[in-house]
Structure 1
Amino acid sequence: MFLQPHTTPAESGWAGILPAGLAFTQAVHECRAPEHTAGHAAFAAVLLAKLGETTPVLWVSANPCLYPPGLAWLGLNPARCLFAHAKNDAESLGTLEVALRGGMAGVAECGELSRLAARRLALAARQGGSTGFLLRYAPATTSSDSTAFATRWMISPLQGRGEMRLQAELLYAKGGQPGVFVLDIHREAQNGAAPFSLTLVPPGPAEQQRRTG
């Protein structure tokens, strides 16, 4: 049974957070991170939280180490998620492809990625009207970089006043310009709930100086 496609970014309240002109739904987004960090998973969780409570999410990995309360802290209800343990990267990618084609949102963690696999995932997202995320520990550029995905990000942790701060470098975007942004995440308890507020802003002089060396 196939699900209805998600709402658009404007309908889901995501407009104004991502840089203007970027496709969000019916697309796959690659999020990279330095080794031994988890900012790319946090970034994907925050984006998926914006799709709304009715969109189910598949999260598949050959080496799962997710902490569901951490997803809840980021605004993604674990009750929306189906967590899958794959045998290897190929099975992770194949499982994500099936989920996207069926109308689910999805996240797959993997190491190696071929251009053919990237094209298959992008096609599945378009066919299912879905949003997918691919999480990788990889440098900013590799020999297998694909233009099949809507965006490619490098997510790194930053120190800051917020409870979590990430540098989100947009390496590649269809319909947009690369750039560096800072994502601040704050949780503020209100009436017993734990909502969060997000701002995606150009980096200040300190971040610019670190990036340019």
Structure 2
Amino acid sequence: MSALAALRERLNRYGSAVEDPGVLPLALPPIDDRLPRGGLPLGRLHRVAGAGGDPAGAAATGFAARLLARLQRRGPVLWCATADDLYPPALAALGLDPDRLILVRPRDETGVLAVTEEALRTPGFGAVLAEAARADLLAERRLQLACEARGTTALLLQRRPIAPRAGRDGIVRAGASAAVTRWTVAPAPSGGTAAWVGPARWALDLTHSRGGLPGRWIVETEDGTDRLAVVAELADHATEAVDTPRRLAG
């Protein structure tokens, strides 16, 4: 990590009520290399959003669930959402242990954010996931501060992509966010054949990594575990802007 990135990380930790909880390596070198200090920063807020033709947000939900499964090793995890479409056996197939998973269903997204913030300030959780389609910058900052209070990691899941709004000048800009990393996930064609569908694949885009670098990959899932495999690494944002062809990861 560069001196500038190290300084930025120190500033990010300034004022936290707990010592630096470290990082969670994803065991995927092409991705870990783009994350600060080689892993997902713990005790911070991370945002996962759907993308592409996936109205149900299944790919984003699956990726968030696998991250939550890895964080489950640090303690029981809480999933907070207004929807009642979560199916525990399916979550178990994503690597989540039902005995260490708490599902909470508030009436609305205001309740989701309130419960999430309270859970983050309560000792004992390995991580907390909140489903909120339109959490604003203030709400994200409150979650980030709650993460730092106890060193608990939070995931903010937005199943459906939110189109950025144009400002008064007519220019469309990406919305501000307090999340340390921001991911978008879309379905990708399977590598199977006509006789065998093959494992699910996702187009995974790390759009922001505080202290790290963005990146794009095709990843493949493994049922019954929290493991992923990088199938291909796509051109990054800088090269994509000049239409550089995609390249396979070595």
Specify the TM-score bucket, using the shorter chain as the normaliser. 0.7 to 0.9
Find the partner of 1:127 among 149, 152, 172.
149
1:114 is aligned to: 136
Q: Which sections of structure 2, spanning at least 5 residues, go unmatched?
A: 1-17, 166-172, 192-197, 246-250
| Structure-1-length-normalised TM-score | 0.80
Q: Which has the higher strand share?
A: 1
Secondary structure class of the residue paired with 1:120? helix
CA distance in 1, matches of 2:88, 2:112: 19
Q: Which amino acid aligns with 2:154?
A: G
CA distance in 2, matches of 1:196, 1:107: 16
Tell me, yes or no, if structure 1 residue 184 matches structure 2 residue 184: no
CA distance in 1, matches of 2:94, 2:20: 20
C-alpha distance 45-88 of structure 1, shift in aligned 2 (>3 A): same
C-alpha distance 33-195 of structure 1, shift in aligned 2 (>3 A): closer
Provide the aligned C-alpha RMSD in A. 2.9
Tell me, yes or no, if structure 1 residue 20 matches structure 2 residue 32: no
Q: Which amino acid aligns with 1:81?
A: L
What is the percentage of aligned positions where both structures have the same residue?
Answer: 30
Find the partner of 2:90 among 70, 76, 90.
70
Bigger mean CA offset, 171-180 vs 134-143: 134-143
| Structure-2-length-normalised TM-score | 0.69
CA distance in 2, matches of 1:165, 1:75: 16
CA distance in 2, matches of 1:78, 1:200: 27
2:175 is aligned to: 145
Check whether the contact 1:140–1:171 (CA below 8 A) recurs between aligned residues. Answer: no
- How far residue 9 of structure 1 moved from its aligned partner, in angstroms, is 3.4
C-alpha distance 77-198 of structure 1, shift in aligned 2 (>3 A): same
CA distance in 2, matches of 1:84, 1:59: 6
Secondary structure class of the residue paired with 1:83? strand
1:190 is aligned to: none
Q: Which amino acid aligns with 1:62?
A: T
Q: How many residues align?
A: 198
CA distance in 1, matches of 2:226, 2:112: 30
C-alpha distance 199-147 of structure 1, shift in aligned 2 (>3 A): same
Tell me, yes or no, if structure 1 residue 55 matches structure 2 residue 75: yes
1:37-64 per-residue CA deviation (whole Å, 9 max, x = no partner) reads 3111111111122124351111111123
CA distance in 2, matches of 1:25, 1:196: 17
CA distance in 1, matches of 2:232, 2:163: 19
Check whether the contact 2:49–2:157 (CA below 8 A) recurs between aligned residues. Answer: yes
